[in-house]
Amino acid sequence: MNNLTQNWWMVVLRGVLAILFGLTAFVWPGLTWLTLVFLFGIYAVVDGVIAVATGLRHTKDSSRWWLFLIEGLVSIAAGVLAFLQPGLTSLVVVTLIAAWAIITGILEIAAAIRLRREITNEWALGLGGLLSIALGVFLFLQPVAGGLALIWTIGAYAVFFGVLMISLGFRLRSAQLPAKTSTSKKSLRQSHSPR
């Protein structure tokens, strides 16, 4: 639990990246498929690296560290594929993003379930996983939806997911603060007590 709360900023960083990716879809309405592929690639690789780092930081304090590691590796693989094959057709891009969303969603829900005894407010991670799966299913069911509608759907998902991750990160930070405060008060009392 200590390492999870100490690294709250990594969860917040994932949320900020997701929001930036999502807002790009709304601010840049003329986004082309090639640009979307590159933006998705950048987002997936950076998010994956953060998830892998989170997993590796928890190898000693949690038996569930491997869930973050797998989620990160899946994200990195999806991002690298987007860079290696930038000329993918829109159907392939949608399928790639859908598969990525479902796999990472399942892993986020699994992580939330397994971490529920180690952290509080793990529901944000689980809700983010459900949202990812819903996006993936929607994209599989509507792979040929209008380009702009598809980009905005992905953007809305990214913004909402980012808000959930930032919320979880700050809740982890709050969980850490009382422990520090009570420890420092205890040390203060001990240093002022007569010997």
Instruction: Give Cβ neighbours of residue 8 (< 8 Å, ≥ 6 apart).
Output: 169, 170, 172, 173, 176
Please indicate, yes or no, if residue 191 is contained in any of the structural domains. Answer: no
Please indicate, yes or no, if residue 65 is contained in any of the structural domains. Answer: yes
CATH of the domain at 111: 1.25.40
Q: Which two tokens stand for residue 103?
A: 């796999």
DSSP 98: H
The 10s digit of each residue's pLDDT in 140-181 is 887 766 566 777 777 888 888 888 888 888 877 877 655 444
Number of domains in the chain: 1
Asked if the model's pLDDT at residue 88 lies above 70, the reply is no
Burial class (CB in 10 A: 0-12, 13-18, 19+), 147: middle
What is d(CA 166, CA 49) in angstroms, rounded to the nearest whole number?
A: 17
Q: Which two tokens stand for residue 27?
A: 């601010």
**Residue 72 is part of which domain span?**
2-185
What pTM does this model have? 0.63
Please indicate, yes or no, if residue 76 is contained in any of the structural domains. Answer: yes
The 10s digit of each residue's pLDDT in 20-53 is 888 887 787 666 667 777 888 888 898 889 888 8
